[in-house]
Amino acid sequence: MPEGHLYPVAPRPQLINFAAIRGVIFRQRWLVGSVIALALLVGLVVTLLATPMYQAQSKVALKPYGQYVVEGQDVEQGVPSSQFYEYISTQIEVIKSRSLAETVATNLNLATRNDFLGKDVDEGRAPGMSDEQWLEAKKKMAVSLLVGSVEATSSPENWVITIGFRSESPTLAAEIANAYADAFVASGSSSTIESNRYALDYLLKQIEETRKRLAEAEQVTNTYARKSGIIVQQSGDDENPTASTLTASNLASINARVANAKAARIEAEQRWRAIQNLPAAQLPEVQSNPVLQGLVSERTEKSAQLADLRQRYNDDFPQIRNLEAQLKVLDEQIERSSADIKATVRNQYLVAQAQERALASELAALTGERLVEQDQQVELSVLDREAQALRDQLKTLLDRYNQINSAANVEPDTITKLDPAVVPGSPYSPNLLTNLGLALVFGVALAGLLAVLRETLDDRIRSLDEVEEKIGLPLLGHTPHVESRDIEALGTNRFSALMEAYSSIRAAIDFSLSRNRNVIQFTSTQASEGKSTTAVILAELFAGLGRKTLLIDADLRRPSVAGLLDIERPKVGFVEVLLGHVELEAAVVKGVHENLEILPVGEIPPNPVEILASQELHDFIAKYREEYSLIIFDCCPVLGLADAPMLARLVDGTVFVLEANKLPFGQARSAIKRLVGAGANVIGVVLTKYRALEAGQAYGYQYEYYQYGRDKKAR
């Protein structure tokens, strides 16, 4: 790509084509306006004929967390904050429910009230229906009317539900709205009390079941303990009770006694070993024995008496012999007592040793029994834990039962009536503004649907883009829609939008054909599309540039060039020149515009196709091609006629004139197909009578260039 060369960027496709929407609205404005006006009229008539309905409203406040007076009221726990709006929605559905409607119908006895059911309600009674059956049928009718007329709404900003009821009677509407509020409040309280009662019944069943299970568990535990010979003893105080088996207690006791016996044996053994080899008289126990001390003292005293007597008497003295005998007895007693004391220490050691052995043997036996009992106690503890768990569960159930039983008839006050309904002073419906608004919306929707349907079925060329998209030919230009009475005035004003548009078309044609290819034909699909006007104005514009131009009226069926130029149609014209009856100079009209000569149609021939297909026309074009700078043929329309295709083979280029918003593009495409099939060089399309508003564009935007030229001229 050469440096600095810029290519045009394709426009980004729009999600919503507002220009197309504006065009549809403008083109279908009468349909849209008529449908909307009719919808508004229907809405007005329906509003005037509708029966006035009154709506009364009462308000109730919700307290989702409740106010608990006593413990046990909180059977229904408070609603979590994340689910509160679901809770409100649930309460609204409760208000709209059939069960609450049945409660209201029963409270107000609506089954017997003709002011609610209607004065003619008894006429609908079926033959043979009993009074009870008819009363039940009317109650169902009342419930259905209540369900269909009640509404409940809430706001996300508060915890208040508004209950509304609609009726033809304002008094009845207020009465039923209040009855609904009262029934809803009562249903909330009764629901809570019913929940408590249900909880009590449920707890009673659980308590009985738990008691049975506990009894079975305790029986199994006791049976296993009996079979295993496990005796559990309770000890400690009431606050810290402890339990142990008899074997464990005995083992602990024996173990303590063994330890004590061992200590006693060691002590006795040490005592005995300390005195084993000592004379009995030297033993501390002997020396400290009061009996022996008494005997020793007595012996000392007797020995002193004996010594005293021996100083005076000989050994045969009876008293001396008596004292010697006493001393001998005392010595024997002292020796025997000392030996006894020493023997006692030894005996204590032997006894302690024997006791230790006996207790150790008992300890070994109890230890074996305890090991076996420990294995059994594991199973017993499992059974005991199950029983204890059931005891705890039973205690919890009993405590909860007592709490709920004390609060069973206490209302938690979670739903309260906030505002009672008052008798409405004005009807709720019909609402004129609302109905007209709905009618307007419906009318706009219906009008849009019909407009789109018409647009779908209508394939006429309306916009500039559609020319190339649907026809497949380049657009040479377009002219604005101008009323026929204004064409002459605008045609003389070279700065008018019409003339500026034709000037643009003239330039496009000039660039499309070289100067040596200077024979052009103007044709269209059918009549009255502006081809003759286009040919005349473009001929004048080319002549205004100094180019010698010949405008030939080749429409041999309905010639119109002379009429457009406001000249009298001559006796001789194009046909006579072709047939050689007159020379061209005698037939052309001059003076209409400088450099412009006009060859109109004189007498209308009976055979236009043969004339346009003749060799004379071929020779005519070849003869005057060099004499004129531009030759313009205004030919007849294409559809249904062979004139334009015949002439298209002889000219250098064909300009196809198409009126906007008139013909289906299928017809225009068929006409162009005929021209191309005949060998025509269709250089482009001129779109005439273009309405910018019908194409969805603003008129000022479409012709801003031309208006800019006018403003510049004015300045």
Each residue of 678-691: pLDDT tens digit?
Answer: 888 999 999 888 87
Mean pLDDT of 183-204: 72
Helix%, strand%, coil% for the chain, nearest 5: 60, 10, 30
Residue 708's pLDDT is what? 47
Whether the pLDDT of residue 131 is over 80: the answer is yes
**What pLDDT band is residue 70 in, cutting at 50, 70 and 90?**
very low
Q: Any idea where the domains of the chain sit in the sequence?
A: 248-395, 477-714
* Other Cβ atoms closer than 10 A to 474: 13
Mean residue pLDDT across the chain: 78
The residue among 522, 473, 477, 556 whose CA lies nearest residue 651 is 522
Residue 381's pLDDT is what? 77
Residue 489's pLDDT is what? 47
Mean pLDDT of 606-625: 89
CA distance 547 to 543: 5
**What pLDDT band is residue 14 in, cutting at 50, 70 and 90?**
low
Of 122-136, 155-169, 352-366, where does mean pLDDT reach its minimum? 352-366
What digits encode the pLDDT tens for the residues 226-270? 777 676 666 655 555 555 666 767 777 777 877 888 788 787 777
- Tell how strand 475-480 and strand 596-599 pair up: unpaired
Residue 284's pLDDT is what? 67
Residue 715's pLDDT is what? 34
In 3-state terms, what secondary structure has residue 466?
A: helix
DSSP result, 514-558: -TT--EEEEEESSSSSSHHHHHHHHHHHHHHTT--EEEEE--SSS
* Superfamily of domain covering 477-714: P-loop containing nucleotide triphosphate hydrolases (3.40.50.300)
The share of the chain scoring above pLDDT 90, in percent, equals 10
Mean pLDDT of 71-80: 52
Greater model confidence, 224 or 113: 113
Of 35-39, 222-226, 709-713, where does mean pLDDT reach its minimum? 709-713
**What pLDDT band is residue 10 in, cutting at 50, 70 and 90?**
very low
DSSP code, position 470: I
In 3-state terms, what secondary structure has residue 410?
A: coil
Greater model confidence, 483 or 254: 254
Containing H/E element for 599?
Answer: strand 596-599
What digits encode the pLDDT tens for the residues 540-572? 999 999 999 999 999 988 898 988 888 888 888
Residue 630's pLDDT is what? 93
Whether the pLDDT of residue 5 is over 50: the answer is no
Mean pLDDT of 350-369: 78
Cβ–Cβ under 8 Å, residues 163 and 57: yes
What digits encode the pLDDT tens for the residues 584-610? 898 899 888 889 999 999 888 888 888
Residue 457's pLDDT is what? 66
Residue 712's pLDDT is what? 43
Q: What is the CA radius of gyration of the chain?
A: 66
Of 454-468, 480-494, 505-519, 603-617, where does mean pLDDT reach its minimum? 480-494
Greater model confidence, 371 or 685: 685
Mean pLDDT of 626-634: 92
Residue 431's pLDDT is what? 78
Mean pLDDT of 657-686: 86
Residue 541's pLDDT is what? 92
Residue 7's pLDDT is what? 38
The residue among 528, 711, 514 whose CA lies nearest residue 630 is 514
Give, in order, the Cα–Cα distances in Å from 524 to each of 309, 634, 647, 661: 196, 10, 13, 14
Global pTM value: 0.48
Residue 23's pLDDT is what? 66
Mean pLDDT of 461-483: 78
Greater model confidence, 256 or 276: 256
**What pLDDT band is residue 632 in, cutting at 50, 70 and 90?**
very high
Residue 522's pLDDT is what? 94
What digits encode the pLDDT tens for the residues 142-191? 899 889 889 999 888 888 889 999 888 888 889 998 998 888 888 766 55
Query: What sign results for the dihedral spanned by CA atoms 437, 443, 449, 451?
Result: negative
What digits encode the pLDDT tens for the residues 385-434? 888 888 888 888 888 777 767 655 555 557 888 889 888 888 877 878 88
Containing H/E element for 471?
Answer: none
What digits encode the pLDDT tens for the residues 78-116? 556 666 778 888 888 988 899 989 999 899 888 888 888
The residue among 433, 446, 455 whose CA lies nearest residue 35 is 446
DSSP result, 177-191: HHHHHHHHHHHHHHH
Both tokens of 625, joined, read 């091609």
Both tokens of 214, joined, read 């506990």
Whether the pLDDT of residue 272 is over 60: the answer is yes
